[in-house]
Structure 1
Amino acid sequence: MEQRPVTFTRFKETDRAELAALYEQVMRETFYWFDEARLNEVSFDDDTESEFIVVARVGEKLAGFASVWLPDNFIHHLYIDSAFQGMGIGKALLGNVVKRLQGNATLKCLVLNSRAVQFYKKNGWKQISMGDSDDGEYILFAYNP
């Protein structure tokens, strides 16, 4: 089956419900160590409020999104639907966002999310510090080409 090209667009209000559903789905699949009470607190609207959002689609299908807190060039969320993982879409989405940020960005990744930690390292992100949050220990990554 031929893979269709990935398109990147800015968030539109008509994307909201679909993105919210993907956000919850990926949170539940990825953060297996969160208890049900924590997962029930997940809110796309609250967690991305005032952020710049880039949406990735393959054809008409939602593949993922990234949200950025622009004042700090901080990538707050990057989620790819499990059906589209391993196809280079996350790398392309990350590249699209970094280009929009003119090459300088930071993000935090929970240590227990080992697959994502390896993804960021493989894609040129450098660990600059570590810290603790309510959700666990995290790595602060920076990207400076």
Structure 2
Amino acid sequence: MEIRTFDSDLLVPLRQLYLETRLATFVWLDCSGFTLTDFDRDTEGERIWVAMESGRVVGFLSVWEPANFIHHLYVCTDSLRTGIGTKLLDACKSTHTELSLKCLAQNQQAISFYKSSGFVIHSSEGSGLESYHLMQYSRDIKHSLCV
């Protein structure tokens, strides 16, 4: 597997991945308004890392760098639990000592994944299906000296 930065030749498969994984993941939400071009709007101005396997896009992570905020991390449903998400996070962590993200409270799999990756829940906001956790990561100073 290869992690690379976004290039416009990856736009079509990234749009497809984003739509398909949101439809498969957010089963508790009304997804009828999701479209292929949501990817363009939802990642505008963000730095994007892309996971490629055998020439196929299998995941991506986008970060809004002015705030060190991970806006999206998606992996193809047929590639879950294969280390792709971890490798994408590692690529992002290699250039950011602190990161934050929002994770829907209903998305227990994602919350567990982020906790296992060093994120902690800082606060919880919203109510009902819109409730989310603000999670934060900070690279340990001792760890960064040993790397």
Post-superposition CA distance 1:85-121 (Å, at most 9, x none): 11111111111111122x2100110000110011111
Q: Distance in 2 between matches of 1:88 and 1:113?
A: 18
Letter in 1 for 2:124: M
Superposed, which structure 2 residues align to 1:31-42 within 5 Å?
A: 31-40=26-35
Give the conservation status (yes or no) of the 8 Å contact 2:5–2:50: yes
Q: Using the TM superposition, give the Cα deviation of residue 134 of structure 1 relative to its aligned residue in structure 2, in angstroms.
A: 9.5
Q: Distance in 1 between matches of 2:129 and 2:95?
A: 29
Post-superposition CA distance 1:51-100 (Å, at most 9, x none): 11100111211110001101000000000001111111111111111112
**In 2 relative to 1, CA 67–130 (structure 1 residues): closer, same or farther, beyond 3 Å?**
same
Q: Distance in 1 between matches of 2:45 and 2:35?
A: 22
CA root-mean-square deviation:
1.8
Is residue 132 of structure 1 aligned with residue 99 of structure 2? no
Post-superposition CA distance 1:13-37 (Å, at most 9, x none): 1111110000000000000011143
Q: Distance in 2 between matches of 1:15 and 1:43?
A: 15
TM-score by length of 2: 0.88
- The alignment covers a number of residue pairs equal to 139
Is residue 108 of structure 1 aligned with residue 108 of structure 2? no
Give the conservation status (yes or no) of the 8 Å contact 2:125–2:133: yes
Instruction: Name the SS for the 1:39 alignment partner.
Output: coil
Unaligned runs of 5+ in 1: 1-5
Give the conservation status (yes or no) of the 8 Å contact 2:15–2:36: no
Instruction: Name the SS for the 2:131 alignment partner.
Output: strand
Q: Distance in 2 between matches of 1:68 and 1:57?
A: 18
- The answer for the alignment partner of 1:73 in structure 2 is 68
- The correspondence for 1:11, drawn from 6, 12, 26, is 6
Superposed, which structure 2 residues align to 1:83-94 within 5 Å?
A: 83-94=78-89
Give the conservation status (yes or no) of the 8 Å contact 2:104–2:131: yes
Unaligned runs of 5+ in 2: 140-147
**In 2 relative to 1, CA 133–93 (structure 1 residues): closer, same or farther, beyond 3 Å?**
farther
Is residue 144 of structure 1 aligned with residue 138 of structure 2? yes
